[in-house]
């Protein structure tokens, strides 16, 4: 085999990459590229973390300053503060040959210093304007502290509550997830990336990360292309359509090839099919980890990654240490490196860093823009809209502001768990605990407090949850003594408020769980409180759907509050006392037990569909459990009630290029003003590949005063009827469609129309 023949595939790859990457050139970038050596181009592809700042991984880079001076660093993360960022930029501008400014990145997942609820909680608001405004606030704060590039939004669809990172996403549904992805990108990036108040967003984790086997973080993923295109890929594409500036590859493999070195994913799908023009960064050391996947040594996997279309190597330095050798050996072309470098430089140009490398180093901004009273008020509002009322037996809620309240539970007077997972830029000690919030909102209430139980009595589990600081403190008193104190505390109370659930680090990255119920230490407390006969309100903290069938069957009321952020206590009190009527709706189904996982609303029928609530032999069901989840997707109660009626379609038959309007009336039939998230689901009766039972295809959040009615119209376009068929063509097939409208995915009111 001749040497030329060996190089032919590589030359064809280079041509394909060059042709694919053709885009509007920027003269300043091209002029800079013409001056760069191969080493300097490779240096721009290197993303490092100097340590000592914001901890988000297990590896810290070495000799960072010397590498910046040598032109071997394209960006940093884990650095914050205008002074420190200016210092880093000055090293690059004053000491490197070409004076190229640095990207300064960070994980701004749910707020910067002013943290708001975890993304799974924010998604539960179903309020796109609110979500966009939250991202905008986070961008303003982060840029005030010198950060210009954000590793968010995370848009991974997940149907497995065991996976800890379900807390970082928007839940199980691609339609809702796509809407949230667009809102977040718009919030972070605004209309002008050169504005000092906006930052470049990163859609992650490309792709399918939420479908890891067994719900175990970093695990393998295996699914068909049809399932990918229809159920998991839409939110990533939505972010691309919204103009997201960068994308981050995931840790998992896809069709047996790790995402970080997957040419089909990065080049064919992301760039060619979706038209993505930004740059792609690896996740933390994911280039190096391809070796553990079994794909070769660091040089081999680095070459595979750059040839696949990866542009920047996060922390691992495989690009820095091996790419030049791969070019010399003909395994990588310099053109591939030039293309990647061009994308990094283009991002810096888009951010205005070549015009002013110090634009994010204004020392007057942190005081004006970070943790302001206005921002804290916004975080409080966001939190109230994220809460989901799961049960309100005998209308115990809202509470009277002069009530005698026995406040109990390990999370009732706790600051360390209010922010939630992935809040590395927030300060837990600035958060408002529940006890303080109740006193702030209802100063006339008579509130007594007792801890009642530990979050967990398991010292090993506590140790694993305390990696980023104290989250679980095991009391020196015995569990029985703590419960006895709590019961004594309830004797003179009108109502018991028990603040229970997960520690914040029971969810998040590398925080998967096989058991997702409330810890046993707290179960014992809850049962003892229920036996008092007094009204009990469970304020439930978690970073995921929990299995709470036992608690649901007790005579208790349940308000799900996720991890609400820095204004946690105030927001919880606002809802408990009725200053805000809860309007949140679940964005992930809550299973009855872990044996039901994965469970989601858009599952398919089998050839032997089973009845939902009864057992039938030789049908697709369980011997020991109902098929239905404990709480369906879209579920959430209010202090008032809503009635749906008079559904109608404006056309019974539509052509392929027509839209159809579905109208219905919603009435507030209760005693409180309130908001309702009206939801529309679509069922395709017959098609060429098996359809889901129903799919979310529209929603609106509306406000109704008590007794008020509103006529609501939701339009379905031709695209809403389309799906990817077995040939991966995006088509709408003629036939009958059934529309369901209501307050959750079990909506029963329906109508139908036909597509001709």
**Which residues belong to the active site?**
283
Contacts of 299 (CB under 8 A, 6+ apart): 318, 322, 325, 326, 331
Q: Tell me whether the omega of the peptide bond preceding residue 153 falls within 30 degrees of 0, making it cis.
A: yes
Q: Give the CA distances from residue 545 to residues 248, 509, 553, 640, in Å, rounded to whole numbers and listed in that order.
A: 26, 16, 17, 24
Report d(CA 314, CA 251) in Å as an integer: 12
Cα-based angle 356, 360, 366 (whole degrees, multiple of 5):
150
- Read off φ and ψ for residue 697, nearest 5 degrees: -135, 10
CB 156 within 8 A of CB 169: yes
3-state secondary structure 87-129: HHHHHHHHHCCCCCCCEEEECCCCCCCCCCCCHHHHHCCCCHH
What tokens does 355 get? 């015009």
**C-alpha distances in angstroms, 153 versus 135, 188, 206, 306?**
9, 9, 11, 24
The rounded distance, in Å, linking the Cα atoms of 351 and 572 is 38
Question: Rounded to a whole number, what is the largest CA-CA distance in the chain?
Answer: 91
Report the alpha-carbon distance of residue 77 to residue 89 in Å, rounded: 13
3-state secondary structure 491-510: CCCCEEEEEEECCHHHCCCC
3-state secondary structure of 469: coil
Contact 574, 435 (CB under 8 A): no
DSSP-derived 3-state class of residue 604: strand
Place of tokens 């885009």: 23
646-653: Cβ within 8 A, 24+ apart: 647/739, 647/741, 647/749, 647/750, 647/751, 648/751, 649/739, 649/751, 649/752, 649/753, 651/753, 652/753, 652/754, 653/753, 653/754, 653/755, 653/756
C-alpha dist (Å) from residue 61 to 145, 290, 586, 625: 22, 19, 40, 50
Cis bond upstream, residue 598 (ω within 30)? yes
Using DSSP, state whether 192 is helix, strand or coil.
Answer: coil
Distances (CA, A) of 43 to 147, 502, 599: 20, 43, 45
Whether residue 737 contacts residue 649, with contact meaning beta carbons closer than 8 Å, is answered with: no
Is residue 558 within a helix (H) or strand (E), and if so which, with residue range? strand 557-560
Q: What does the alpha-carbon distance between residue 613 and residue 620 come to, in Å, rounded to a whole number?
A: 12
Distance (Å) of CA 736 to CA 476, 685, 686, 749 = 65, 6, 7, 17
In degrees to the nearest 10, what's the CA dihedral of 73, 78, 84, 90?
10
Fill in the DSSP letter of residue 623. S
Chain center to CA of 618:
39
């Amino acid at each position: 085999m001749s040497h030329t023949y060996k190089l032919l595939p590589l030359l064809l790859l280079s041509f394909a990459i060059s042709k694919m990457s053709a885009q509007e050139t920027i003269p300043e970038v091209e002029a800079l590229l013409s001056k760069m050596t191969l080493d300097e181009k490779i240096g721009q592809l290197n993303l490092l973390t100097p340590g000592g700042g914001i901890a988000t991984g297990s590896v810290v880079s070495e000799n960072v300053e010397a590498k910046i001076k040598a032109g071997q660093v394209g960006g940093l993360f884990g650095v914050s503060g205008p002074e420190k960022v200016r210092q880093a930029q000055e090293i690059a501008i004053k000491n490197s040959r070409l004076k190229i400014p640095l990207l300064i990145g960070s994980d701004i997942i749910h707020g910067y210093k002013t943290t708001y609820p975890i993304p799974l909680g924010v998604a539960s608001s179903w309020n796109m304007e609110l979500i966009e405004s939250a991202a905008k606030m986070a961008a303003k704060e982060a840029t005030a502290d010198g950060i210009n590039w954000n590793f968010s939004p995370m848009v991974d669809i997940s149907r497995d509550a065991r996976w800890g990172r379900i807390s970082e996403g928007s839940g199980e549904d691609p339609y809702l997830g796509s809407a949230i992805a667009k809102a977040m990108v718009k919030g972070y990036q605004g209309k002008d990336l050169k504005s000092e108040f906006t930052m470049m967003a990163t859609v992650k984790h490309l792709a399918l990360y939420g479908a890891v086997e067994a719900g175990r973080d970093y695990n393998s993923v295996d699914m068909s292309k049809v399932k990918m295109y229809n159920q998991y890929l839409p939110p990533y594409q939505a972010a691309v359509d919204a103009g997201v500036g960068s994308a981050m590859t995931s840790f998992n493999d896809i069709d047996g090839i790790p995402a970080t070195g997957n040419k089909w994913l990065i080049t064919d799908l992301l760039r060619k099919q979706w038209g993505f023009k930004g740059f792609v960064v690896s996740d933390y050391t994911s280039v190096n980890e391809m070796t553990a996947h079994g794909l070769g040594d660091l040089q081999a996997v680095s070459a595979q990654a750059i040839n696949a279309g990866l542009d920047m190597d996060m922390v691992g330095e495989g690009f820095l240490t091996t790419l030049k050798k791969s070019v010399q050996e003909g395994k990588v072309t310099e053109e591939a490196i030039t293309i990647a470098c061009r994308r990094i430089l283009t991002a810096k140009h888009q951010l205005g860093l070549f015009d002013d490398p110090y634009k994010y180093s204004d020392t007057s901004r942190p005081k004006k823009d970070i943790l302001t009273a206005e921002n804290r008020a916004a975080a409080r509002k966001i939190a109230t809209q994220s809460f989901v009322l799961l049960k309100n037996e005998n209308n115990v809620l809202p509470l009277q502001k002069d009530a005698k309240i026995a406040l109990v539970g390990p999370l009732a007077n706790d600051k360390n768990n209010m922010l939630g997972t992935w809040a590395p830029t927030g300060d837990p000690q600035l958060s408002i605990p529940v006890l303080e919030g109740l006193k702030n909102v209802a100063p006339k209430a008579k509130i007594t407090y007792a801890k009642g139980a530990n979050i967990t009595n398991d010292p090993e589990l506590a140790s694993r949850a305390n990696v980023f600081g104290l989250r679980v403190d095991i009391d020196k008193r015995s569990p029985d003594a703590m419960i006895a104190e709590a019961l004594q505390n309830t004797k003179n109370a009108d109502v018991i408020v028990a603040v229970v659930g997960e520690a914040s680090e029971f969810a998040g990255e590398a925080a998967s769980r096989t058991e997702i119920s409330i810890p046993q230490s707290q179960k014992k407390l809850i049962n003892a409180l229920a036996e008092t006969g007094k009204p009990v309100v469970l304020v439930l903290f978690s970073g995921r759907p929990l299995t709470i069938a036992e608690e649901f069957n007790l005579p208790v009321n349940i308000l799900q509050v996720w991890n609400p952020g820095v204004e946690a206590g105030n927001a919880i009190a606002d809802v408990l006392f009725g200053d805000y009527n809860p309007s949140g709706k679940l964005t992930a189904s809550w299973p009855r037990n872990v044996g039901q996982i994965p469970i989601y609303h858009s599952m398919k029928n089998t050839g032997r569909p089973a009845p939902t609530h009864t057992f039938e032999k030789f049908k697709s069901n369980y011997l020991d459990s109902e098929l239905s989840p404990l709480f369906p997707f879209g579920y959430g109660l209010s202090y008032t009630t809503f009635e749906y009626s008079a559904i109608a379609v404006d056309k019974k038959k539509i052509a392929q290029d027509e839209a159809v309007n579905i109208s219905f009336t919603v009435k507030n039939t209760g005693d409180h003003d309130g908001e309702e998230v009206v939801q529309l689901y679509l069922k395709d009766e017959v098609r060429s590949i098996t359809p889901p039972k129903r799919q979310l295809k529209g929603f609106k959040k509306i406000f109704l005063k008590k007794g008020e009615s509103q006529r609501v119209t939701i339009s379905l376009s031709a695209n809403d009827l389309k799906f990817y068929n077995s040939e991966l063509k995006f088509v709408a097939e003629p036939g009958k469609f059934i529309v369901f409208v209501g307050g959750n995915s079990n909506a029963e009111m329906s109508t139908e129309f036909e597509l001709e």
